């Protein structure tokens, strides 16, 4: 059962990677396949979340039953989760700052151009009235 799930997950990941790589080459194809790619990725996220939940439930059950090795397994899970959290937060923070600054520059260029155009228009109107 686990091998079948692993093969299915690998196939879905390969299809997603193929769609992503082909979509970057041609934007028309990307526009057509984007909903499918999004749906596949959503399915993979839900499936992986479900698998993690099942494993955590099994770990909690073993921990409460005081099975041999469950405490060590619990410590390892917590340790690796904390180790994965730190780089994830760094990448998230840097990405968020990058996106926010990019969006700010998009709007700053437009606002600056609009203000300069408005000033020029107002100056022309004043010059025309003054004549």
Angle 13-96-114 from CA coordinates, rounded to 5°: 120
Entry pTM: 0.51
- How far is it, in rounded angstroms, from Cα 39 to Cα 87? 27
Q: What pLDDT is recorded for position 109?
A: 63
pLDDT digits (tens, 9 = 90+) for 19-50: 777 766 666 766 777 888 889 999 999 999 99
CA distance 16 to 36: 9
Taking alpha carbons only, the member of 13, 79, 54, 122 closest to residue 130 is 122
pLDDT digits (tens, 9 = 90+) for 68-114: 999 999 999 999 999 999 999 999 999 888 888 877 666 666 677 77
Domain boundaries, the chain: 1-67, 86-131
Rounded Cα gap, residues 103 and 95, in angstroms: 12
54 pLDDT higher than 80: yes
Q: Which two tokens stand for residue 56?
A: 């955590």
Mean pLDDT of 114-127: 84
């Amino acid at each position: 059962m686990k091998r079948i799930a692993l093969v299915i997950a690998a196939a879905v990941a390969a299809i997603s990677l193929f769609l992503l790589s082909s979509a970057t080459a041609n934007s028309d194809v990307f526009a057509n396949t984007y909903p499918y790619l999004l749906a596949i990725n959503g399915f993979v996220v839900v499936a992986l979340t479900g698998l993690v939940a099942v494993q955590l439930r099994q770990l909690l059950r073993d921990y409460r039953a005081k099975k041999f090795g469950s405490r060590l397994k619990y410590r390892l899970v917590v340790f690796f989760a904390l180790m994965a959290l730190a780089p994830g937060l760094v990448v998230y923070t840097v990405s968020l700052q990058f996106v926010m600054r990019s969006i700010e520059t998009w709007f700053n260029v437009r606002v600056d151009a609009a203000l300069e155009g408005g000033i020029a228009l107002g100056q022309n109107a004043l010059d025309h009235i003054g004549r």
